[in-house]
């Protein structure tokens, strides 16, 4: 079979203020399975989008068989045989259509002649593709009835049905169970053996990469730092070290706070949606407890479950030795738990209300006379919070949508400060916040701990976890893989567990 290659030469992409890719040289050839690994924000997805024609603003060259080509539209990429399957499979599927219609969607749009649908041909062709790939899903089933893994298979079938030489799978295994993953791997191996396709495989699960890939490319801060073959001797540790490099991490001042009794205890918590799989943890007065893990490890889901915003399937949550009945967030708030959610604008603040109202919304009863709001009291509280938190706003009547990201986050935190909460949960509080505001938010969190509250701090930025927390739980796949004392751990160790690494004892048992 003739091999073809797709690659980039000195490709860079700059977004305002960030260099997402800088001078990337990358090449993949048909017949191989290539892994692309890197921490969050390393530029993996950006590079893949360039290859898929979805990032037209690149500088440098995209090479097909060594010759530069223009690849500025998704259509141009499809024409040379690049197909990409994104992680959010539902965005690419039409749920009310049958499997066959979804598999043949590109074909119908491009090749359908005349007005009448040729149903017989469609089902015949779809069945052919599914047979070729050994996919056993019936072409007549509706896509909305399929499992996630089956939907992915349908998308891969669609990709292969079209002209396909380069198949990019963006974190395909993140939502899959082990059996589903192994079925996907069979399919990928089958493609490699029989279809003369290059498969680019993005994953955070290093053990899977070692299992299935021929070579791996490591990216860091928008650069390709290494490409090596996967051999018998390749270890998770080795890859993780390359992912992290020896980059200098900025330190934030961790204040020493005396740690008191256990106030918050969680016992084998399982969430209804299965994203939290038996998590046990505790937090003490004055303590900042980190929840580390990669995107999709279940941190946000854990935070929401602790706050009653996601349904609990089983397990217990105890606050000050009292079992909590957590059915919705208003119970949590009454019991004394506060959450600063990840999606600030969607979940944390009311953008169309003013600063004063946002700062009092969770404690409004305090500023009321009977059922009536006492506006001066609300204003006094708002002015105090604005000063304490250093919120930059012309006046407290300003709509929150007009504040900067960091100031919105301070409002999102500030609304809890007037409540009598004793457990504060932060979910990625520094996301989209500049360095200066980040530092202020850290001071704020330190202050909350200093007042004798327990803080739970979830973040995928391990440097933040290391600088602000006392103890860390590392999550992977909805489970806690390890509990570590922050002062005795390192970024390497956290990353090791975050990608599903076993603890050392277990590793020795299974060399």
Partner 1 sequence: MTSLQGIKKQRVGRFLLDWAAVLTLLLCFVVFTLVKGKAFMSESNMINILRAMSITTVFGIAMTVTMATDGFDMSACTLASCSAYVFVSMYLWYGLSLGMSIVVSVLVTLVMYQLTMFLILVCKIPDMLATASLMFVHQGLGQWYIGGGAVSTGMRLPNGNPPVRTALSPAFSAIGRAPLIIIIMLACVLLVYIFLEHTKYGRYMYAIGGNKQAAKLSGINVKGYRYMAGMITAVFIAVGGIMVASRGSSAQVMNSDGYFMQSLAAVFIGRTVGGAEKPNALGTLVGAMLVSTLENGLTILAVPYYMLPAVKGGVLALALIAAYATKKEQ
Q: Quick check: 357 binds partner 1 (CB under 8 A)?
A: yes
Token pair of 288, please? 């900042």
Token pair of 114, please? 């005349």
Q: Quick check: 248 binds partner 1 (CB under 8 A)?
A: no
Distance of closest approach, residue 325 Cβ to partner 1, in angstroms:
14
Q: Quick check: 176 binds partner 1 (CB under 8 A)?
A: no
Tell me the backbone φ, ψ of residue 163, rounded to 5 degrees: -65, 125
Token pair of 101, please? 């219609």
CB-side neighbour CA atoms (13 Å) of 78: 13
Contact of 187 with 134, CB cutoff 8 Å:
yes
Q: Quick check: 402 binds partner 1 (CB under 8 A)?
A: no
Within 61-120, the residues that bind partner 1 by CB under 8 A are: none
Cβ closer to partner 1: 40 or 330? 330
Dihedral of CA 64/70/74/78: which sign? negative
Cβ closer to partner 1: 53 or 348? 348
Q: Quick check: 377 binds partner 1 (CB under 8 A)?
A: no
Among 230, 225, 228, residue whose Cα is nearest residue 244: 225
Distance of closest approach, residue 394 Cβ to partner 1, in angstroms:
16
Q: Which residue has the tokens 């977004």?
A: 15
Cβ closer to partner 1: 258 or 376? 376
Distance of closest approach, residue 107 Cβ to partner 1, in angstroms:
34
Q: Quick check: 351 binds partner 1 (CB under 8 A)?
A: yes
Q: Which residue has the tokens 């967030």?
A: 329
Cα(87)–Cα(102) distance, integer angstroms: 17
Among 439, 471, 448, residue whose Cα is nearest residue 340: 448
Contact of 247 with 221, CB cutoff 8 Å:
yes
Outline where DSSP puts E strands in 259-417.
262-271, 277-284, 288-292, 312-319, 322-323, 337-340, 368-369, 372-373
Site string for partner 1, 403-422 (x = CB under 8 A): ------------x-------
Cβ closer to partner 1: 126 or 332? 332
Q: What is the DSSP letter of 93?
A: -
Q: Quick check: 368 binds partner 1 (CB under 8 A)?
A: yes
Q: Using the rule CB under 8 A, give the single segment among 87-95, 206-214, 329-337, 484-492 that binds partner 1.
A: 329-337
Distance of closest approach, residue 347 Cβ to partner 1, in angstroms:
5
Cβ closer to partner 1: 59 or 330? 330
Task: Please report which helix (H) or strand (E) contains residue 244, including its range.
Answer: helix 236-244
Distance of closest approach, residue 362 Cβ to partner 1, in angstroms:
5
Among 439, 446, 437, 443, residue whose Cα is nearest residue 407: 437
Distances 511 to 40, 283, 499, 504 between C-alpha atoms, Å:
29, 35, 18, 10
Q: Using the rule CB under 8 A, give the single segment among 179-187, 312-320, 354-362, 482-490 that binds partner 1.
A: 354-362
Q: Quick check: 372 binds partner 1 (CB under 8 A)?
A: yes
Cα(166)–Cα(176) distance, integer angstroms: 23
Cβ closer to partner 1: 297 or 332? 332
Cα(404)–Cα(298) distance, integer angstroms: 28
Which residue in 350, 377, 380, 383 binds partner 1 (CB under 8 A)? Answer: 350
Q: Quick check: 424 binds partner 1 (CB under 8 A)?
A: no
Cα(133)–Cα(190) distance, integer angstroms: 7
Cα(54)–Cα(47) distance, integer angstroms: 10
Which residue in 148, 373, 377, 380 binds partner 1 (CB under 8 A)? Answer: 373
Q: Quick check: 364 binds partner 1 (CB under 8 A)?
A: yes
Rg of the chain on CA atoms, in Å: 25
Which residue in 194, 314, 330, 397 binds partner 1 (CB under 8 A)? Answer: 330
Which residue in 17, 258, 371, 376 binds partner 1 (CB under 8 A)? Answer: 371
Which residue in 334, 395, 450, 487 binds partner 1 (CB under 8 A)? Answer: 334
Task: Please report which helix (H) or strand (E) contains residue 334, including its range.
Answer: helix 329-335
Q: Quick check: 353 binds partner 1 (CB under 8 A)?
A: yes
Which residue in 309, 316, 377, 380 binds partner 1 (CB under 8 A)? Answer: 309
Distances 432 to 187, 313, 370, 420 between C-alpha atoms, Å:
38, 32, 39, 28
Which residue in 26, 123, 307, 457 binds partner 1 (CB under 8 A)? Answer: 307
Cβ closer to partner 1: 195 or 301? 301
Cβ closer to partner 1: 102 or 363? 363
Q: Please work out the total of residues on this chain that contact partner 1, with binding judged by CB under 8 A.
A: 30
Cβ closer to partner 1: 421 or 449? 421
Q: Using the rule CB under 8 A, give the single segment among 172-180, 231-239, 262-270, 335-343 that binds partner 1.
A: 335-343
Q: Using the rule CB under 8 A, give the single segment among 21-29, 348-356, 475-483, 500-508 that binds partner 1.
A: 348-356
Give the Cβ contact number of residue 18 at 10 Å.
11
Q: 364-371 contacts: CB < 8 A, separation 24 or more?
A: 366/418
Q: Quick check: 383 binds partner 1 (CB under 8 A)?
A: no
SS3 content of the chain, % helix, strand, coil (to 5): 40, 25, 35
Cβ closer to partner 1: 366 or 439? 366
Cβ closer to partner 1: 251 or 352? 352
Within 266-295, the residues that bind partner 1 by CB under 8 A are: none
Contact of 338 with 423, CB cutoff 8 Å:
yes
The binding site for partner 1 (CB under 8 A) comprises 307, 309, 328-330, 332-334, 339, 341, 343, 346-353, 357, 361-362, 364-365, 368, 371-373, 401, 415
């Amino acid at each position: 079979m003739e091999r073809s290659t797709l690659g980039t030469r000195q490709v860079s992409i700059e977004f305002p203020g960030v260099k997402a890719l800088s001078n990337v040289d990358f090449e993949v050839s048909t017949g191989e399975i290539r892994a692309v690994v890197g921490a969050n924000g390393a530029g993996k997805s950006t590079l893949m989008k360039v290859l898929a024609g979805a990032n037209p603003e690149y500088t440098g060259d995209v090479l097909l068989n060594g010759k530069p080509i223009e690849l500025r539209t998704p259509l141009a990429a499809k024409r040379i045989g690049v197909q990409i399957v994104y992680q959010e499979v539902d965005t690419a599927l039409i749920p009310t259509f049958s499997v066959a219609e979804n598999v043949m969607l590109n074909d119908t749009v491009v090749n359908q002649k005349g007005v009448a649908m040729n149903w017989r041909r469609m089902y015949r062709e779809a069945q052919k593709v599914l047979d070729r790939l050994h996919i056993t899903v019936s072409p007549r089933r509706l896509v909305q009835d399929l499992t996630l893994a089956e939907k992915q298979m349908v998308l891969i079938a669609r990709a292969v049905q079209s002209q396909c030489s380069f198949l990019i799978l963006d974190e395909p295994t993140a939502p899959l169970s082990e059996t589903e993953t192994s079925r996907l791997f069979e399919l990928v191996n089958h493609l490699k053996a029989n279809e003369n396709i290059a498969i680019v495989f993005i994953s955070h699960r290093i053990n899977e990469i070692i299992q299935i890939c021929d070579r791996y490319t490591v990216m860091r801060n928008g650069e390709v730092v290494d490409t090596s073959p996967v051999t018998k001797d390749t270890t998770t540790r080795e890859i993780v070290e390359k992912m992290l490099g020896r980059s200098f991490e900025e330190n934030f001042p961790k204040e020493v706070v005396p740690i008191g009794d256990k106030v918050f205890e969680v016992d084998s918590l399982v969430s209804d949606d299965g994203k939290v799989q038996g998590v046990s943890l505790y937090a003490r007065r004055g303590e900042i407890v980190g929840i580390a893990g990669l995107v999709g490890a279940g941190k946000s889901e854990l935070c929401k479950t602790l706050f009653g915003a996601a349904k609990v399937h089983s397990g217990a949550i105890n606050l000050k030795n009292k079992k909590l009945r957590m059915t919705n967030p208003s119970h949590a708030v009454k019991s004394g738990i506060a959450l600063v959610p990840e999606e600030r604008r969607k979940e944390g603040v009311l953008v169309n209300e003013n600063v004063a109202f946002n700062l009092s919304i969770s404690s409004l009863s305090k500023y009321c006379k009977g059922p009536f709001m006492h506006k001066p009291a609300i204003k006094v509280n708002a002015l105090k919070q604005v000063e304490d938190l250093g919120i930059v706003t012309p006046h407290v009547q300003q709509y929150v949508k007009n504040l900067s990201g960091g100031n919105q986050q301070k409002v999102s935190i500030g609304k809890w400060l007037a409540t009598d909460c004793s457990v504060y949960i932060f979910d990625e509080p520094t996301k989209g916040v500049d360095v200066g505001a980040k530092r202020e938010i850290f001071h704020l969190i330190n202050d909350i701990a200093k007042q004798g509250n327990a803080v739970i701090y979830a973040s995928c930025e391990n440097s933040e976890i290391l600088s602000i927390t006392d103890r860390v739980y590392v999550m992977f796949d909805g489970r806690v893989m390890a509990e570590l004392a922050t002062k005795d751990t390192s970024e390497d160790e956290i990353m090791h567990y975050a990608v599903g690494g076993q603890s050392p004892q277990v590793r020795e048992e299974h060399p």
